[in-house]
Structure 1
Amino acid sequence: MTASQDITTLSNPPLLEKIDKLRDLNIGQHVPLPQLVVVGDQSSGKSSLLESLSGIPFPQDQSLCTRYATQITSRRDISNSVEVRIIPGPHASEDHRKHVEGFHRQVHSSLEFREQFPDILKKANERMGVRSDISTGIGTVFSEDVLKIEVYGPNEDYLTIIDVPGIFRTTMQGTTKDDMAMVRDLVKRYIKDGRTIILAVLPSNVDIATQEILELAEEYDKKGERTLGVLTKPDLVLEPSAQAAVCNLVQGKKRPLNLGYFLVRNRGPNSGLEGPSELDKIFRKHPWADLPRDRVGILALKDTLRSLLVEITKREFPTLIQDVSRQIRECKRELNSLGPPRQDEREQRSFLCSIAGAFQDRARAALMADYNANTGFDEDELRLITHVVNITDIFGADFHESAHSRQFEKLGSAEEPEEVEKSDDCDDKAGPMVNELRELLEKARVDDIAPEEFAELADVITPEKISMPVPCDNFSEWINEVYLKSRGLDLGTFNANFLTTAFAEQSRKWGDMTKIYMSRIIITLHRFIVAGLRSVCSEEQVRNKLWIAMIESLGERYKKAMDQARLLVEVEQCKQPYTLNKQFAQALSKARGYRVTELLRPKARKDSKQFVGTQPMINLNDIPKAVEVKSNVEQLQEEIHDILHAYYSLAADRFIDNVFQLAVDYCLLRGPSSPLKVFTQDWVINLEAEQLEQIVGETRSVKKRRQGYTKKIVDLTNALKILRT
Structure 2
Amino acid sequence: MSLSQEVIILSDPKLLEKVDKLRDLSISQLVPLPQLVVVGDQSSGKSSLLESLTGIPFPRDQSLCTRYATQITSSRDSNERVDIRITPGPHASEEHKKHVEGFYEKVNSGSQFREQFLDILKKANERMGLRADVSTGDGTVFSEDVLKIEIHGPREDYLTIIDVPGIFRTTTQGTTKNDMDIVMDLVKTYIKDSRTIILAVLPSNVDIATQEILELAKYYDKNGERTLGVLTKPDLVLEPSAQAAVCDLIQGKKRPLNLGYFLVRNRGANSGPEKQSELDQIFRKDPWANLPRDRVGIIALKEQLTSLLVEITKREFPKLMRDIRNKIRECKRDLNDLGPSRHDEREQRIFLSQIAGTFHDRTRAALTADYNADPAFDQDELRLITHVVNITDIFSADFRESAHSRHFEKLGLDDPSAKADVVVDCDSKAESIVNDLRELLEKAKVDDVTPEELVELDDIIAPDKIPMPKPCDNFSAWINAVYLRSRGLDLGTFNANFLTTAFAEQSRKWGDMTKIYMSRVIITIHRFIAAALRSVCSEEQVRSQLWTSIQEGLVKGYKTAMDQARILVEVEQRKQPYTLNKQFAEARSKALGYRVTELLYPKARKDTSQYGETQYMVNLDDIAKATEGKHNVEKLQEDIHDILQAYYGLATYRFIDNVFQLAVDYCLLHGPSSPLKVFTQDWVIKLEAQQLEGIAGETKSAKRCRSKLKKKIEDLTNALTILET
TM-score w.r.t. the length of structure 1 is 0.87
8 Å CA contact 1:64–1:118 kept in 2: the answer is: no
Which amino acid is the alignment partner of residue 666 of structure 1? Y
* 8 Å contact from structure 1 (residues 591, 642) kept in 2: yes
Q: Which has the larger displacement, 431-440 or 574-583?
A: 431-440
Give the superposition deviation at 1:391.
0.9
Letter in 2 for 1:297: G
Which residue does the alignment assign to 1:344? 344
Equivalent positions of 1:131-150 (< 5 A) are 134-135=132-133, 144-150=145-151
Distance in 2 (alpha carbons) for counterparts of 1:133 and 1:459: 61
Contact persistence 2:131–2:140 (CA under 8 A):
no
- Cα distance, 1:361 vs structure 2: 1.6
What is the 5 A alignment of 1:640-659?
640-659=640-659
Tell me, in whole angstroms, the C-alpha distance in 2 between the residues paired with 1:453 and 1:471. Answer: 32
CA deviations on 1:125-149 (whole Å, 9 max, x unpaired) are 5367269994596998766233233
Instruction: Tell me the equivalent position of 1:86.
Output: 85
Q: Give the letter for the 1:122 counterpart.
A: D
- Of 588-597 and 506-515, deviating more is 588-597
Is the Cα contact below 8 Å between 2:250 and 2:260 reproduced in 1?
A: yes
Instruction: Determine if contact 1:85/1:149 at 8 Å carries over to the other structure.
Output: yes
How do 1:388-427 residues align onto structure 2 when only pairs under 5 Å count? 388-413=388-413
Q: Give 1:512 deviation, angstroms.
A: 1.9
- Give how far 1:535 is off: 0.6
Q: Is the 8 A contact 1:462 1:519 kept in 2?
A: yes
Unaligned runs of 5+ in 2: 1-8
**Counterparts of 1:395 and 1:713, CA distance in 2:** 58
Counterparts of 1:468 and 1:270 in 2: how far apart (Å)? 99
C-alpha separation in 1, matches of 2:295 and 2:484: 125
The CA deviation string for residues 153-179 of structure 1, in whole angstroms up to 9 with x for no partner, is: 36x554332233444567889888776
Cα deviation for residue 603 of structure 1 reads 5.7
Checking the alignment, whether the CA contact within 8 Å between 2:72 and 2:150 is kept in structure 1 is yes
CA 1:122/1:11 → structure 2, altered by over 3 Å: closer, same or farther?
Answer: farther
Are 2:249 and 2:256, in contact at CA under 8 Å, matched by a contact in 1? Answer: yes
Q: Give 2:464's aligned residue.
A: 464
Secondary structure of 1:406 counterpart: coil
State the distance in 2 between where 1:517 and 1:66 align. Answer: 74
Question: Hey, what's the Cα distance between the residues in 2 that align with 1:84 and 1:438?
Answer: 76
Other-structure match for 1:118: 115
User: Residue 616 and residue 722 in structure 1: after superposition, are their counterparts in 2 closer, same or farther (change >3 A)?
Assistant: same
Matches within 5 A, 1:149-548: 149-153=150-154, 157-167=157-167, 182-209=182-209, 211=211, 213-214=213-214, 216-218=216-218, 220-221=220-221, 224-268=224-268, 270-272=271-273, 274-276=275-277, 278-413=278-413, 430-548=430-548
* CA displacement at 1:688 relative to structure 2: 3.5
Paired residue secondary structure (1:627): coil
Contact (CA 8 Å) 1:411, 1:423: kept in 2 or not? Answer: no
Distance between the aligned counterparts of 1:131 and 1:519, measured in 2?
61
User: Superposition RMSD on alpha carbons, in Å?
Assistant: 3.7
Shift of 1:114: 2.2
Farther-moved stretch of structure 1 (656-665 vs 55-64): 55-64
Q: How much has 1:467 moved relative to structure 2?
A: 4.6
Between the aligned partners of 2:544 and 2:256, the Cα distance in structure 1 is 60
Structure 1 range deviating more: 526-535 or 51-60: 51-60
Pairing partner for 2:107 from 105, 108, 121: 105
**Letter matched to residue 84 of structure 1:** D
Report the CA distance shift for 1:97/1:688 in structure 2 as closer, same or farther (over 3 A): farther
Q: Is the 8 A contact 1:584 1:647 kept in 2?
A: yes
Q: Does 1:666 align with 2:663?
A: no
Q: 1:295–1:644: structure 2 CA closer, same or farther, 3 Å change rule?
A: same
**Any conservation in 1 of the 2:86–2:101 contact (CA below 8 Å)?**
no
Q: What is the Cα deviation at residue 408 of structure 1? A: 2.0
Contact 1:68 1:147 in 2 (8 A): no
Equivalent residues of 2:17, 2:75 under 8 A apart: no
Distance (whole Å) between structure 2 residues aligned to residue 557 and residue 691 of structure 1: 21
Specify the code of the residue in structure 1 equivalent to 2:283.
Answer: F
- How far off is 1:654 after superposition? 0.7
Opposite residue 151 of structure 2, the aligned amino acid is E
Name the aligned partner's letter for residue 320 of structure 1: L
Question: What per-residue deviation string (whole Å, max 9, x for no partner) do you get for residues 269-320 of structure 1?
Answer: 64445354x4433222211122223221223212321222122222222222
**TM superposition shift of 1:571:** 1.4
Pair 105,591 (structure 1): closer, same or farther in 2 beyond 3 Å:
same
Aligned to 1:4: none
- CA offsets 1:65-121 (integer angstroms, 9 cap, x no match): 7455444444567x5734434363355756447634x544343xxxxx324422266
Q: Which residue of 2 aligns with 1:632?
A: 632
Deviation at 1:600, TM superposition (A): 4.6
Give a deviation string over 1:28-78, Cα, whole Å, max 9, x none: 22222221112234443333323333345556566777455444444567x
Q: Within 5 Å, which residues of 2 pair with 1:9-20?
A: 13-20=13-20
**Unmatched segments (≥5 aa) in structure 1:** 1-8, 108-112
**What's 1:699 paired with?**
699
Change (3 A) 1:131 1:698: closer
Change (3 A) 1:712 1:157: closer
Change (3 A) 1:337 1:668: same
Cross-structure match for 1:30: 30
Look up the match of 1:716. 716
Give the letter aligned to residue 413 of structure 1: L
Structure 1, 177-186 or 377-386: larger mean CA deviation: 177-186
Please say which of residues 129-138 and 213-222 is displaced more in the overlay.
129-138
Could you report, residue by residue, the CA deviation over 1:623-678 in whole angstroms, capped at 9, with x for unpaired residues? 44333222211211111111111111110011001110111111111222222122
Paired position in structure 1 for 2:4: none
Shift in alpha-carbon separation, 1:115–1:487, aligned structure 2, 3 A = closer
The answer (yes or no) to whether the contact 1:261–1:295 under 8 Å persists in 2 is yes
Mapped partners of 2:369, 2:246: distance in 1: 82
1:593 Cα deviation (Å)?
3.4
Distance 1:603 1:344 in 2: 92
Structure 1 97/550 Cα, relative in aligned 2: closer, same or farther at 3 Å? same
User: Does the residue aligned with 1:36 lie in a helix, a strand or coil?
Assistant: strand
TM-score by length of 2: 0.87
Which AA in structure 1 matches 2:293? R
Percent identity among equivalent residues?
A: 71
Alpha-carbon separation, structure 1, partners of 2:128 and 2:118: 10
2:10 touches 2:317 (CA, 8 Å); kept in 1? no
Name whichever of 178-187 and 518-527 sits farther off.
Answer: 178-187
- The structure-2 alpha-carbon separation of the partners of 1:635 and 1:103, relative to structure 1 and needing over 3 Å to count, comes to same
Report the Cα offset of residue 325 of structure 1.
2.3
Deviations 1:484-532 (A, max 9, x none): 2222211111111111121112112212211221111111111111111
> SS where residue 37 of structure 1 aligns?
strand
Q: For 1:623 and 1:600, how far apart are their aligned partners in 2?
A: 7
* Contact 2:52-2:266 at 8 Å conserved across structures: yes
Distance 1:423 1:628, change over 3 A: farther
Q: Is the 8 A contact 2:85 2:105 kept in 1?
A: yes
SS for the counterpart of 2:586 is: helix
Structure 1 contact 384–528 (Cα < 8 Å) conserved? yes
Query: Whole-Å Cα distance in 2 between the matches of residues 600 and 464 of structure 1?
Result: 51
The 1:484–1:117 alpha-carbon spacing in structure 2 relative to 1, beyond 3 Å, is same
Deviates more, 1:241-250 or 1:355-364: 241-250
Q: Deviations over 1:389-448 (max 9, x none)?
A: 111111111111221222222334366959999999x99984432232222222222222
